[in-house]
Amino acid sequence: MVQTRMDGTITKASPTSVPNLLTYGRIAAVPAMAAAFLLIEGDQRRWIALAIFVAACVTDWLDGYLARVWQQQSLLGRMLDPIADKLLVGSALILLVHDGTISTTSVWAALIILSREILVSGLREFLAELNVRVHVSRLAKWKTTLQMISLGVLLAGPAGERTLTGVMAAGTALLWVAALLTIWTGGGYLTAAIRSALHR
């Protein structure tokens, strides 16, 4: 495995570097969050699942930051980082729909977000084969932030509502905002893929 330094030189990168270990931890957080949410009784299950989710979200920022600061941006990390993100988001959505926290028309918002994640994964793979790279926009970063906040709020769900009135409404509203941004930002990948395919 190789690592590209900021000055352009290539060095060996360890699969056990701290940024990579944080990414592994985010992947491991998925079954841990699911187990807490599905197997523990009462409000405690939501608070524990939320704590695991928040910790995983923090590692999403921290592993990228440390990789840049310590110049440990490995190919393995670049591959696993988006996979870990999608596993975390997809699992949270499935748990919340299964539980009924996300229900009725809001299920459409969950479907939009989940479909976009799958679509973008496929488009990225296609574009990579064509050596076309689509940079992550600032709006896409806002989308990710709102998405994580909305899922965290909804994981608290009724337990959070008993602590602070309006939690469920706020989480649902943020979920819809994230879904709309998801459509907008996903269009960039789709446009790039179509243009690349037509000009080959």
Q: How far is CA 175 from CA 79, 81, 111, 147, in A?
A: 27, 22, 11, 6
Best CA proximity match to 59, nearest among 29, 23, 103:
23
Q: How far is CA 49 from CA 41, 140, 144, in A?
A: 12, 25, 19
Domain boundaries, the chain: 1-99, 102-200
Q: Are 62 and 21 in contact (CB under 8 A)?
A: no
Per-residue buried b or exposed e for 41-70, using 16+ beta carbons within 10 Å of the residue's own CB: eeeebbbbbbebbeebbebbebbbebbeee
140 in helix, strand or coil?
helix
pLDDT in tens, the chain (200 residues): 344 444 444 344 578 888 888 999 999 999 999 999 999 999 999 999 999 999 999 998 888 888 788 887 777 777 888 889 999 999 999 999 999 999 999 999 999 999 988 887 777 776 666 666 666 677 878 888 999 999 999 999 999 999 999 999 999 999 999 999 988 887 776 776 677 666 66
DSSP secondary structure letter of residue 133: -
